[in-house]
Structure 1
Amino acid sequence: MAKRVPQISFSLCCIILLSFLLNGCNNSPAVQEQAHTRTFQAPNTRAITYSTQPDDVLIRTFHSGGLYGTLELHPEFSIYGDGTYILGLERKGKLSTDELQQLLNILISTDGVLDFTHQQFSDLQDQNATFLELNLNGSHKELVYGIVNHYHASQQELDEYQRLDRALTAIAAALKGPVQPYQGNDVALLVRRTFSPDLTQTIPDWSLPDFTLAQAAAYECGLLPPDEVSFNGESPCLKYTLPEHAILLNASQLNSLKAQMHGEQGTFSEGGHYYTVILRPLLPDEASRKIVAMFGSAQDSYKDTPLLAGPVPPEPTPTPQK
């Protein structure tokens, strides 16, 4: 008697066949999750690892650095590990995980920005340029995009320059989603002495008892050197160049200053001198790392400005001139 061969139901066959088809056609990236990081790899591309922390910057740009440029008080935009992006200090949006990974894949796998042999693509030092900061695959990369002399550049430099242009275009295109106002919870105080106040406006006296404007200006910009030639001894600090420090305001100090100021910048008087006062809202990474991200003129790379949370040091005694 012949043995009967077990029959598999038609529906079970369909399920098995469908499973094979789906697995064979799956083009979604493989993803690995670890503490505060994510690694993904789309088919035929390299693996990409990035932080998922909401206060870790993945991508950031400034537009500054030229010899005749002014101080940029904040980045053009910042993209964070959770997909949040902040445009300047005014608006914020959110990339989904898929949108963020698509952008990172373009930058790293398609345009290869982490593998560039050149860092600076700018031949006109007096002109501002775009400074691109990347924190991906466990490395920090800075690239400068400006005007390149095509006659003097090598073919490799021109190729990387064109790929950097495409990368910046892709970033700009990705940040076109819906946005809402950004409100920084913490605010830094920036102070510089000015010799050209608008005397047609009412200039309030400095009233905070915690520190003087002279203290703040000296701590952030240093003491002004004696000017024996003119009455204008104005410093380039906080007008063209970075300050040495910034000061974190507490809630009471901030509320007191907001009550006297119309907006985020104003002029105060103290001891017969005038000071420009700027209230600079902090970005998420700045608040957690106690730094302020700015970019000055004649600057060829990014530098953190330390943020003081605590008492302002006393004004130093000037060194006698020899």
Structure 2
Amino acid sequence: MARMDELYPPIAPRAEGFLETGDGHRIRCQEAGNPAGKPVVVLHGGPGSGIAPMARRHFDPSAYRIVLFDQRGSGQSTPDAGDLTANTLWHLVADMELLRERLGIERWQLFGGSWGATLALAYAETHPSRVSEIILRGVFTVRQSELDWIYRGGAAHLFPREWEAFLAPLPASLRDDPLSGYAVLLDDPAEDVRHRAAVAWSTWEGATVSVLPQEAFVRQYADPAFALTFARLAVHYFTRGAWLDDGQLIRDAGKLAGIPGVIVQGRYDTVCPPVTAYEVHRAWPGSELKLLEGAGHAVTDPGVLAALRAATDSFRE
């Protein structure tokens, strides 16, 4: 699997604080690396996963000014996922622009995987003049076809036992549309119902994320402290199509013309199949698609860390 020597050595944040958005949210932010270096902002997945220390290690710390933040409802940002007020994709885009201005950054590189790739595309298509380069991994654009694949039985053909466990909390009346069914369960007044649903939702992704089964992923995703935020935010966003027209991020990818970019995609990604990365690449003039033959969705799958490091190294000057 992953070789940790394909990452830069561990690095601690050199600055940390909170960004007041003006609408009741406080966004936890970090900086690491060279304060005079090339700015890059790391966009975490989920939605709901939060800052991961390993994310700082994709970048040469002598060359990059590394900015990370917990998106609304995630990590140490407040309010938490129990309060979904003013929490949409476009709020996140606005938070990024506010953060860029507060940090005095003219243009920055975007680095995001999975849901982080969704946010990167939405921000770049809204503010292309503020983006120097883009690096995406495991591309997801929240089209209905993508949601149907993972939540209405497509991936179930590859993971039948895990799919059965995913459906288990749902009564028969809600199984035709599991995404909407989980929205009902996660809003149930009974705490045990909400907890069971969150763990089942999250465990489904943990079971499908890697090209080879990894018990560590299943344990991580099944942890109730992680699962409650992860499931609640994901269902909140996905039942609403992330406030996007269906196919919008691919439709508008022509706005990225002139922005260099690398797309790192696992051939056997069962969470975000490579057709989406391919279609983004076709619609984004000048982008480079690196399709990794031995990888799935996980950042630790074979070849992914090396490909991401090669991309960040290529843009560090």
TM-score bin (small chain): under 0.3
Which protein has the larger Cα radius of gyration, Structure 1 or Structure 2? Answer: 1
Higher helix share: 2
What TM-score, normalized by structure 1, do the two folds share? 0.27
Question: Is the strand fraction higher in 1 or 2?
Answer: 1
